[in-house]
A = this chain, B = another copy of it.
Amino acid sequence: MKPTESELEILQVLWAKGPSTVRQVNEQLSQGREVGYTTTLKLMQIMHEKGLLSRTEEGRYHIYQALIGEEETQQHLLDRFVDTAFRGSAMKLVMQALGTSKATPQELAELQRLIHNLNPENN
């Protein structure tokens, strides 16, 4: 439930592409950096042992699938991150994240609505 950085990379691929073989995942990862096939294989095997991935045999292949959800995992990592990097202040994190983000007007408007609804004075 607390994936390492490499494990997270693999989860990202599986979340984006859905159930995949080791080769498919490895090819995605190879786009960004050099990484051996057996390295990816080993990691995915370990993740399977840990219960992070499920595995079904499809003929000669193994198809892997993420067993933990993207949002759920992100929330968990985010909570941790706010604690360790921002001493628990989510507001500080939000402000800094907004400061450097290139958000579209649409996204900003959406945020405004969200914040409006969060404020109990408006309900």
- Given the complex of chains A and B, what is the CA–CA distance between A107 and B121 in angstroms? 13
A78 within 8 A of B: yes
Q: A103-B118, A105-B119 are in contact. Are A90 and B84 (CB under 8 A)?
A: no
The stretch of A36-44, A45-53, A93-101 that contacts the partner chain: A93-101
Q: Convert A94-123 into 0s and 1s, putting 1 for each residue whose CB lies closer than 8 angstroms to a CB of B.
A: 111110110101011101101110111100
Number of identical monomers bound together in the oligomeric complex: 2
> Is the pair A108, B97 in contact by a Cβ cutoff of 8 Å?
no
CB distance from A112 to the nearest CB of B (A): 6
Given A81-B81, A85-B74, A103-B118, CB of A97 within 8 Å of CB of B94? yes
Interface-side segment among A5-13, A22-30, A57-65: A5-13
Range of interface residues on A (Cβ < 8 Å)? 35 or more
Can you report 13 residue pairs joining A to B where beta carbons are below 8 Å apart?
A: A5-B84, A12-B87, A71-B96, A78-B93, A78-B97, A91-B107, A93-B97, A94-B97, A94-B98, A94-B101, A97-B97, A112-B115, A112-B116
Interface residues, chain A, with chain B CB atoms under 8 Å away? 5, 8-9, 12, 16, 71, 73-75, 77-79, 81-82, 84-87, 90-98, 100-101, 103, 105, 107-109, 111-112, 114-116, 118-121
